[in-house]
Chains A and B, each alone.
Chain A
Amino acid sequence: MFPLQLFAVHSTGKGELNISEIVLEHLSDDYEWHIASYGGKTISIPLPIIVKSSVTGQWSFCTPKTLPSNFFFDSAHHGKIFEKMPDGNNVRPIDLSITKAVAQIWIVVFILLGIFAYCARWYKHRDMKSLAPGGFVGAMEMMVMTINDDVVKSSIGEKHHKTYAPYLLTVFFFILTTNLIGLIPIFPGGANVTGNINITLFLAVCTMIVVNLFGNKEYWKDIFWPHVPLFLKAPIPLMPLIELFGVFTKPFALMIRLFANMMAGHAVILSFTCVIFLGWSMGVGFGLGLNTFSIIMLLFMNCLELLVAFVQAYVFTLLSAVFIGLAHKEEAAE
């Protein structure tokens, strides 16, 4: 999200604002990290493009400016790289480019590693008899223990929670950091990562794999032979079918929830930012009124998004923990 230069990029010359396009463009992935535009000049960080030609099978490493001639940015497909085939068709090559979202993910990875390396170093020089940490390390300890005790332990149970705690904690801190850094509008942040279906798909698939791979006998019995009247499961396996469907809908809901919430939050903030420029194009009176309104709403939305960033990370972790807990149901529980 780079609200400040929106106006310069999209309305010079035309004099008209296509807000939905602007918003979508800023939500989308990109092959370069746009920083600012001023007076027709664009300042951006070029990111490495890594594509494999479908024709020759050759890998190309380049920047957007030095893209080989057989590749092009297809504006009909939202600027993704396509390859011209000899027969005239355009196909999508294997594209492992470090896009804006990928770069953002790696920034998050390094932030997380830095934070926890710092915390781990603090603990290394101390033992159980020293005072509890304060400040930043104390805050991290509090967050880790809150998730570990209140979410993981209470959802999965005393017996199995140690196995899954690292995964769930990683998911929580990854989503939280990505969400928060996505709210910073300037360079090291601002990319819409958790509002991209690929990321949430990946996380949801991870949870699905963890749930189903390590589910116990009781879990599978509940799916294929649930505790319902007999006519509901034989001869037509109605309930088992629904239960089996549920295996896929649960992670699907996880995926959509995180994606939609983060995407919508970004979209709303971008829209209010656009309203500022829209207001000015309608005259001074309109401009002042709309701007005041937009700025108040922007501040409000940003505060709300801070909350949402935490809530969504928490909800994703909590639901993953609950699903894992269900897959480890004790036999005596029924």
Chain B
Amino acid sequence: MENLPSILTPDLGLLFWMLLAFLVVFFCLARFGFPVIIKMVDERKQYIDESLGKAHEASERLAHIKQEGEALLQEAREQQAKIMKEAAMTRDAIVEQAQDKAHEESARLISEAKKQIEIEKQAAIRDIRSQVAELSIQVAEKILQEKLSNDKSQMELIDRLLDKVSKRENKD
């Protein structure tokens, strides 16, 4: 024990300085060194965890929104189809109505025209009749002036004419 190499001999001076140096390094590092690093890493870990959670939530929400959007689109499509159908129906109805009205109008016009024609015809017939009567009177007058020389034949003719006229009158 007396003469061991110095690396095997306890030495007060070395132990003293070692204690001092170790305390210095321990207090400095334990206060300003390691806690800073460990705290930062822990905080970063927490932050990353939180961010991951948020990202998950966001993607979920996005998926939800997509679903909702699709549903909305589907609904819109259905609505569109319905509106189109209604529009077609309305159009058909309008066309039909218009046709009906046109029919009615044309019928009315035709019937009015027919009435007008009837009236015109009546007027024309009347006109012709009066003209025929006048003509026949003039013809009769001329015939009478020229050919009626005796009373007897005159009378006979008048009778015959009267008969004919009355017959026609009865016929009409």
Contact = CB atoms under 8 A, between A and B. Distances in A.
Contact of B44 (A119, A132, A169, A198): A132
Given A116-B33, A165-B38, A170-B30, A27 B18 contact: no
A263 B7 contact: yes
Given A96-B17, A101-B14, A128-B43, A120 B7 contact: no
A268 interface: no
Give chain B's interface residue range (CB within 8 Å of chain A): 35 or more
A36 interface: no
Contacts of A101: 14
Nearest to A198: B14
Interface in A92-141: 94-99, 101-102, 105-106, 108-109, 112-113, 116-117, 119-120, 123-124, 126-129, 132, 140-141
Contacts of A201: 10, 15
A33 interface: no
A4 interface: no
14 contacts: A50-B13, A77-B3, A98-B17, A108-B25, A112-B29, A116-B29, A116-B32, A120-B37, A128-B40, A141-B37, A166-B26, A174-B25, A196-B6, A197-B9
A50 B16 CA distance: 12
Nearest to A113: B28
Interface of B: 3, 5-19, 21-22, 24-26, 28-30, 32-38, 40-41, 43-44, 46-47
Given A106-B21, A174-B25, A99 B37 contact: no
Contacts of B17: 96, 98, 102, 105-106
Best-surrounded residue of B7, B14, B17, B36 (most CB of chain A within 10 A): B7
Contact of A169 (B6, B13, B34): B34
Interface residues of A, number: 59
A265 B37 CA distance: 33
Nearest to B51: A129
Contact of A113 (B25, B37, B47): B25
B6 A80 contact: yes
Nearest to A140: B37
Interface of A: 24, 27-29, 50, 76-80, 94-99, 101-102, 105-106, 108-109, 112-113, 116-117, 119-120, 123-124, 126-129, 132, 140-141, 144-145, 148, 165-167, 169-170, 173-174, 192, 195-199, 201-203, 206, 259, 263
A321 to B, nearest CB: 14
A119 B33 contact: yes
A250 B143 CA distance: 177
B38 A198 contact: no
Nearest to B48: A128
Contacts of B7: 27-29, 192, 195-197, 259, 263
Contacts of B25: 108-109, 112-113, 170, 174
A197 B12 CA distance: 12
Nearest to B40: A123
B14 to A, nearest CB: 4
Contacts of B24: 109
Given A78-B3, A166-B30, A170-B26, 16 more contacts: A95-B12, A96-B12, A96-B13, A106-B21, A113-B29, A116-B34, A117-B33, A128-B43, A128-B47, A144-B37, A167-B30, A196-B6, A196-B7, A197-B9, A198-B15, A202-B19
List the 6 closest A-B pairs by CB distance, nearest first: A166-B30, A116-B33, A128-B43, A102-B17, A198-B14, A128-B47
Given A80-B6, A128-B44, A202-B15, A123 B29 contact: no
B44 A197 contact: no
A281 to B, nearest CB: 25
Best-surrounded residue of B14, B16, B26, B30 (most CB of chain A within 10 A): B14
A119 B36 contact: yes
Nearest to A196: B7
Contacts of A148: 34, 38
A191 to B, nearest CB: 11
Nearest to A27: B7
Contact of B18 (A50, A97, A126, A198): A198
B5 A202 contact: no
Nearest to A124: B36
A160 to B, nearest CB: 15
A123 B36 contact: yes
Nearest to B32: A120
B37 A123 contact: yes
A213 to B, nearest CB: 15
Contacts of B35: 166
A166 B22 CA distance: 12
